[in-house]
Amino acid sequence: MSPVNVIALAWDAAREHLDLFGGLGLCLGFAAGMMPRRSAILLTSAASSACFGLHFLRLGAQTGTAMCLVSVMQGVVAARWIGAEGRAAWVAPLFVASSLVAACLTLATWNGWPSACAGLGSLLATTARLQLDPQAMRRCFLGASSCWLAHNTLVGSVFGLTCDLLTISALLIALLRASPAKVLAPALASKADEPAGAAVSVGSIQTVV
C-alpha cells in the first residue's frame, strides 16, 4: 500500500471525528476571553485556533484553515517573545511576513465574502497579539471575533458561530469587569498623596488612612 493510500485511509477514519475539535475549540475560545493574563490569553487562543483549523479543514473552508495556522504561530511567538521587557528584534519582521503570507493565502483560497471576513479577522488578531496591554488586546480580539462571526455564519460552522458568540461575550465581560478598576485608579492615587497617618473621623470612630 502506497503512502498516499495510507494517508487517504487515515483521513477517512479521522474526518468524522474532526467536529470534536470544533467543540474543543469552542471551549478554549470562551476560556481565552476570560483569562486574566496576557500570556494565558495568547496561548489559550492559539490552542483554540489549532482546533478550529482542523474543524475548518473538514468544512472545506480553506482560507479559514490557513488563517488558523497563522494564528497559532503568531500566538505562541507573542506569548513567548513579546513582553513588558520588550520583544526580540526578529519578531516584527516575522509578524509582517506572516501577515503577507496570510494575505497571499486569502487571495489564493479566495471564496468571496468568507475569505474577506477571514482575512480581516486575521489582520485584527495580528494587531491584538502585538499589544502589551491586556485590555487593548481584548478590544482588538473583539473586532477579530466579530469578523470570524461573519465568516462562520457564511460557511455554516455551528461550532465556530457558537464559539464566536461565547468569545465575544467573554471579552465584553472581561472589558467591563476591568473598567471600574480604571475609574477608581485616580481616586486611589489621590489618597496615596495624602499625609501618612491622616485621621478620618467617622462619627465617634477615628480611622487612620
What are the pLDDT digits (tens) for 53-110?
888 888 888 878 888 888 999 999 999 898 877 788 899 899 999 989 888 888 888 8
The DSSP H or E segment spanning 86 is: strand 86-87
Q: Please count the other Cβ atoms lying within 10 Å of the Cβ belonging to residue 113.
A: 12
CB-based burial, 78-106: b 16+ in 10 Å, e otherwise:
bbeebeeeeeeeebeeebeebbeebeebb
Q: Global pTM?
A: 0.71
- pLDDT of 9 strictly over 80: no
The pLDDT of residue 14:
62
Does residue 198 contact residue 209 with C-beta atoms inside 8 Å?
A: yes
